Each structure stands twice: as structure tokens, then as C-alpha cells.
Amino acid sequence: MATKKITRGTTARKKSVAEKTAPAKYPRNAVDKSLRIPKAILEQNAVKPCTVAESATFLGVGAAGTYQVEVSSGIKYGFLERPSPGYSHVGLIAWN
């Protein structure tokens, strides 16, 4: 009677997206590209807080992907603030 040998291989644990890359501490976009979001909020929303999707519609772009990076860059420059999760508001630096 032949017996099978049971082997236990070590499997590599898959890292989640959050574990793979930490958010950058510096903005990924240039200043002029990051300024277009607070400018649109000032012109079209009368400085009231709005969702990221609403601010994307002000600019005529989609709210996912590279636009999220632009919002993140605007926050890191100080042009945008987050009064609550999912909302953005024009920061004090963008007022000047």
C-alpha cells in the first residue's frame, strides 16, 4: 500500500491595496491643476461645501481615478479642506 506524503507549502499572503502603498506625503499634481477644483467650487457652488462628485460635475469630469488624485493634491496644498468625510470645501489658501 502506497502512502501519499502530505506537503504543506508556504503560501504568500496577498497584501491589500492599503498595505502595498502608503499615501504620499507630498502632492502628486502641479499647483495649477490642483487650483482648478477650488476655483470651480468658488464660481459654481458659492463657496458651500460639496461632495467630490458634485465638484467633478462642476468641471465636467468623472469623479473617480485621476480626479481623486487631484482632490488629494488640493487638500495637501491647502486649497481644499474636508469638513466631513466625502465633502470638500475651499481652504483659506485658495481664497487669496
Per-residue pLDDT 10s for the chain (96 aa) are 666 666 666 666 665 655 677 777 778 888 888 899 999 999 998 888 999 999 999 999 999 988 999 999 999 999 999 999 989 999 888 776
Q: CB atoms < 10 A from the CB of 52, how many?
A: 18
Only one residue has cell 464660481, namely: 43
Q: What is the pLDDT of residue 31?
A: 87
Q: What is the pLDDT of residue 25?
A: 77
Q: pTM for this structure?
A: 0.69
The CATH fold of domain 27-95:
Arc Repressor Mutant, subunit A (1.10.10)
- Gap between the Cα atoms of 88 and 38, Å rounded: 9
Q: What is the pLDDT of residue 47?
A: 82
Q: What is the pLDDT of residue 52?
A: 92
